[in-house]
Amino acid sequence: MKRTLVALSAALALSATGAFAAPAPANTAPKKGASCCAETEKAGAAQCNPVSETVVTLTGTVLCEHCDLHTAKSCNPVFKADGREGYLPFCPGTKDVDGVRAAADHGKVKLEVKGKVCRMKDGRELLVVESFSKKA
């Protein structure tokens, strides 16, 4: 009887551990209320192959296409530069997108970013941030 209870307890403990180790489901539906950017997974390592690059210093903020702009089904950070039309998506060459996004606090804090604007073959422009700082 004791062996059966021990075996049952062990099996229950293993199955409970497996339930906690299972990966969380992907965020597929828009959330209401607080932002869901923290729940996104990084996209695959895409390569940036620009036709031209321009060195820039821009002031603006980082917004999420899903949470802040409501223009996409999934979270994707973009830079809204002051005095510039549209938004600049981050190039895969930007190493600290999470740091830039955290510093901007969903559009509440202005940033000064230094880097390059890469023009792609299809005309899209991407931003490669090399350094950033909060603007007072």
Residue 82's domain is classified under what CATH number?
Answer: 2.40.50
Helices (H), ranges, 45-130: 97-104
Would you say residue 116 lies in a domain? yes
Residue type at 83?
G
Would you say residue 66 lies in a domain? yes
pLDDT digits 0-9 by tens, 27-76: 444 444 443 444 433 444 456 777 888 899 999 999 999 988 899 999 88
The number of distinct structural domains making up the chain is 1
SS3 72: coil
- Counting residues of the chain whose pLDDT is more than 70, the rounded percentage is 64
- Domain of residue 52: give its range: 48-134
Would you say residue 42 lies in a domain? no
Would you say residue 102 lies in a domain? yes
Over 80: is that where the pLDDT of 109 sits?
yes
pLDDT of residue 1: 64
**Band (107; pLDDT cuts 50, 70, 90):** confident
Would you say residue 37 lies in a domain? no
Measured between alpha carbons, how far is residue 55 from residues 1, 96, 110, 114, 118 in Å? 75, 18, 20, 8, 9
pLDDT of residue 131: 92
Helices (H), ranges, the chain: 2-21, 97-104
Would you say residue 69 lies in a domain? yes
Residue type at 78?
V
Would you say residue 26 lies in a domain? no
